[in-house]
Amino acid sequence: MPLPNKGEKETKQEFISRCMSDEKVVKEFPDNKQRYAVCIRQSGKTSAMEEADLVYNYETYGYVEEISEHNFYIPEESEYEDFGEATEEWDCAKEKPGLWENIRKKKEREGKKYKPAKRGDPDRPDPEAWKQAQSEEGSMAKGQLKKIAMQASQLYSMLGEDDEMEAWVQDKLSKAEHFVEAVYDYLMFSEPEKEEEEGIYKLKSSEYQGRKVTLNKPFRTPKGPKKFSVYVKNQKGNVVKVNFGSPDMDIKRDDPARRKSFRARHKCDTAKDKTTPRYWSCRQWRASSPVED
């Protein structure tokens, strides 16, 4: 199976990030450490010292990878941790429709296993807002669906098995299928939960449908590949996933002496790049609030 090669305009780090999330490489080398070593080798001629630095940074801090259908994960609100950074919401389906389509297909193959939001979460609508949305938008949506169904049925009866279509007609039908399918997936796999005190129904986790994440806000990753991950934008404006923190070590940030030693040892005063694991490790050790294991 051919492995990816570094592009002429790519830096070693950019290539390694792309390589780490490459479908073929992930399949052939599922172990992260082994895959990282392979990606270093594929990045081109590397001196022994440079390779040692790359391996050290990987083992000490973590690594960066491009977002793919294999590593895109939507944290629950409870999994996020506030590091005091300015955050923003990023919609994968809007910003990267091609990537989102691959993610959607992968989820379809593996089954829908969404985690419902808990009552009180900020993305849960209040009863009054939901009732208003039901009355105003629900009836309109049903009317639109009725019209779509009627016209689709008529078109289906008009077309023969061998009828040829103009390209623009086929394009419109393909887009219509995609849009309707997206709504279907949302409604089918968001189980209704009755609010007894209000006598209405709510869809569980309206935002938790596998498309929106918060940038610059780390989240815990109990199944790895590291202790934390965070989505950030790089200099090119692309969102990447930074994995950092050893899952096998406790954080002793609450001890002033340990905190000072860590920051000095890792030269945290020079860690300015948010797209590096070292930045986020240092950012975590700078915080003064108590650490929860």
* Residue 156, H or E segment: helix 139-158
DSSP state of 293: -
Examine the pLDDT at 290 and tell me if it is beyond 70.
no
Mean pLDDT is lowest, of 163-167, 208-212, 266-270, 280-284, for 208-212
Examine the pLDDT at 167 and tell me if it is beyond 50.
yes
* Residue 92, H or E segment: helix 92-95
The CA R_g of the chain, rounded to the nearest whole Å, is 24
Examine the pLDDT at 108 and tell me if it is beyond 60.
yes
Examine the pLDDT at 138 and tell me if it is beyond 70.
no
Q: Where are the domains of the chain?
A: 12-97+212-286, 125-203
Q: How far apart are CA 39 and CA 6, in angstroms?
A: 9
Mean pLDDT of 215-240: 90
Q: How far apart are CA 229 and CA 75, in angstroms?
A: 10
With cut-offs at 50, 70 and 90, classify the pLDDT of residue 203. very low
pLDDT of residue 142: 81
Q: What are the DSSP calls for 189-223, one per residue?
A: SS-EEEETTTTEEEES-SSTTTTEEEET--EE-TT
pLDDT of residue 287: 55
Mean pLDDT of 24-48: 92
Nearest to 4 by CA among 102, 16, 64: 16
Query: Higher model confidence: residue 249 or residue 53?
Result: 53
Does this model's pTM top 0.75? My answer is no
Nearest to 117 by CA among 184, 206, 198: 206
Axis crossing angle, helix 167-188 with helix 97-110, rounded to the nearest 10: 50
| Phi and psi at residue 19, to the nearest 5° | -65, -40
Are the beta carbons of 58 and 36 closer than 8 angstroms? yes
pLDDT of residue 115: 39
Greatest extent of the chain over all pairs of C-alpha atoms, in Å = 78
| pLDDT above 70 as % of the chain | 75
pLDDT of residue 226: 86
